[in-house]
Amino acid sequence: MEKIVAMPDLKGRYGPVSDEEASQGYHFMVSLVDSRNKGFQFGSDQLPQRTPALLKALTGSEQPNPKTPPGGCEAEASTQLWGSPAGQDLKGEDQIAQQIKADSFAQSQSDSRVVTAFAQWSACMKSAGYSYKTPNDAQNDARWSEKSASAEEISTARKDVACKKATGLPGTWLAVENEIERKAIDNNIEALTNGRAAIGSAVKHAAQVVGH
């Protein structure tokens, strides 16, 4: 198993792993999701009104304007990005990648190395009066369902982080996940490579279209 020398930003995958995250209890995930979505949110004033004329232009349907390209603007954009009016179906490749991510998380938790690390973490938490078998149990405690973090929740999260640091749990867990994911990637390398190449090509074409 590869040793993790420097911990990456885990984005909440193992619950809070830093004092900064623990300062928000287990509600830090709410802030994390909000920050992820911020760049993809549009106000109603930023979106064009979906008029019949707009839909005709997009799809090229119902006797479109002579200036509208065959298949509409959507088809033209797809051709510019993917080289085909129908675009590129990456659902299969994307599903493989997402499945690998989900499977590694689930499978890692039954790996003997992670099970041992969980037991060490649980013992550390027990010494402070907390009875949780795994970090998932602590994060999913029903008491943390309020809109904002309570003092008790924050205290629990801080001890959670302290025990993770003391036992090296995140590093062990991440290394095991990496091991599982690499095997899955090797088993699906052709599909994943093709998907990555297609996305890279589309990004390049998009940059050319917008002039960057």
Are residue 167 and residue 178 in the same domain, yes or no? yes
CA angle 177, 33, 157 (to 5 degrees): 70
Q: Which residues contact 2 (CB under 8 A, 6 or more apart)?
A: 175, 178, 179
Domain residues for 191?
Answer: 90-203
Q: Do the domain assignments include residue 25? A: no
Q: Do the domain assignments include residue 61? A: yes
Are residue 106 and residue 72 in the same domain, yes or no? no
Are residue 55 and residue 119 in the same domain, yes or no? no
**How many domains are there within the chain?**
2
For 78, the 3-state DSSP assignment is: helix
Q: What is the phi/psi pair of residue 5, to 5°?
A: -80, -50
Are residue 106 and residue 69 in the same domain, yes or no? no
Are residue 126 and residue 188 in the same domain, yes or no? yes
Which residue in 188, 209, 212, 184 sits closest to 83, CA to CA? 209
Are residue 166 and residue 81 in the same domain, yes or no? no
**pLDDT score at 55:** 74
Output the CA torsion sign for 171, 177, 183, 189: negative
Are residue 66 and residue 118 in the same domain, yes or no? no
Q: Do the domain assignments include residue 76? A: yes
Are residue 156 and residue 59 in the same domain, yes or no? no
Are residue 125 and residue 185 in the same domain, yes or no? yes
Counting as low any pLDDT under 70, the low residues of the chain are 1-9, 32-48, 62-67, 84-92, 212
Q: Do the domain assignments include residue 104? A: yes
Other C-beta atoms lying within 10 Å of the C-beta of residue 99: 12
Are residue 184 and residue 142 in the same domain, yes or no? yes
**pLDDT score at 69:** 72
Are residue 61 and residue 143 in the same domain, yes or no? no
**pLDDT score at 5:** 45
**pLDDT score at 18:** 93
Is residue 92 a contact partner of residue 191, using CB atoms and an 8 Å limit? yes
Both tokens assigned to 156: 């629990």
Q: Do the domain assignments include residue 33? A: no
The single residue listed with the structure tokens 């990637």 is 185
Q: Do the domain assignments include residue 4? A: no
Are residue 123 and residue 72 in the same domain, yes or no? no
The residue out of 87, 116, 143 marking a domain boundary is 87
Q: Do the domain assignments include residue 140? A: yes
Q: Do the domain assignments include residue 212? A: no
